Amino acid sequence: MTNQVYIDGSLVPSEEASVSVFDHGLLYGDGVFEGIRVYGGNVFLLAEHVDRLYQSAQAIRLEIPLDRQQMIDAVGETVRANQIDDGYVRLVVTRGSGTLGLDIRKTANPVVIIIADTITLYPAELYENGMPLVTASTIRNHPGALNPRIKSLNYLNNILAKIEGTDAGFVEALMLNHKGEVAECTGDNVFIITDGLVRTPPTESGILEGLTRNSVISLAREAGYEVRETALVRHDIYTAQECFLTGTAAEVIAVVSLDGRTIGNGSPGPITQDLMARFRQLTRE
């Protein structure tokens, strides 16, 4: 079946979906997006993702041509049209076409694009055995230059760090902030566990406030674990008993080493496994 893409109010075959070469989303990465998971035909945390999309758009003065309910309905329509049971939605809003140049006053007609498809981010064996990480030399964008809570179409910062990781033979890389603190990975948030205490960097560390991150924090607290959002450095990860990542596509996945230092006993720890199971239960049941 040909994939159907929602663009400008209509579902069209993927090979017919297009935007203008003068669209500022293409020319300058000027736009916002969300990645959303689908479980059992249900779009996970859809309202929260749509709210964050509109917050990102407001922060960059981008007026989305649909209201929130229309956007929610359009996502549902696209998922159903593609018969997605377990999959992924990419929701994109571009600035629209304009002249060559940065002036947003010379752009018009922002474009809404919704893609629904299947996705596999990491191999199954990494979920069973955990993944190794390496620290990238590319730091996270300085929050004074670009607020990392804006999920913009310009992901070059993350892409450069990802290149470093894959060149070194790792599927994911850790990024530090301008102060040398732990920020996040190229596409996932970071958690560590020591003596039963779960810690993760706060938004002030220059992270994207992941919705899966927030969901896992809630699950952990409901399970009786203490969770603190606090600044971390690499030493904290090196000496942690457990470490895991969260993300829309990645879900929850254990980390077993960083920069060649084994974390804990080198396998997914008990609290990590418990939270992985709780997240699976939340999303599948």
CA atoms within 13 A on the CB side of 145: 7
Give the Cα separation of 135 and 129 in Å (integer): 20
| Other CB atoms within 10 Å distance of the CB of residue 122 | 17
When computed from its CA atoms, the radius of gyration of the chain, rounded to whole angstroms, is 19
226-229 and 197-200: which strand pairing? parallel
At 52 the three-state DSSP class reads: helix
Helix (H, G, I), strand (E, B) or coil at 67: coil
Sign, Cα dihedral of 247, 185, 144, 96: negative
Active site residues: 151
**Nearest to 30, CA basis, from 117, 91, 92:** 92
Quote the CA–CA distance of 118 and 18 in Å, as a whole number: 21
Joined tokens for residue 169: 């033979």
Q: Residue 200: helix, strand or coil by DSSP?
A: strand
Q: Are 192 and 269 in contact (CB under 8 A)?
A: no
Cβ atoms 178, 141 nearer than 8 A? no
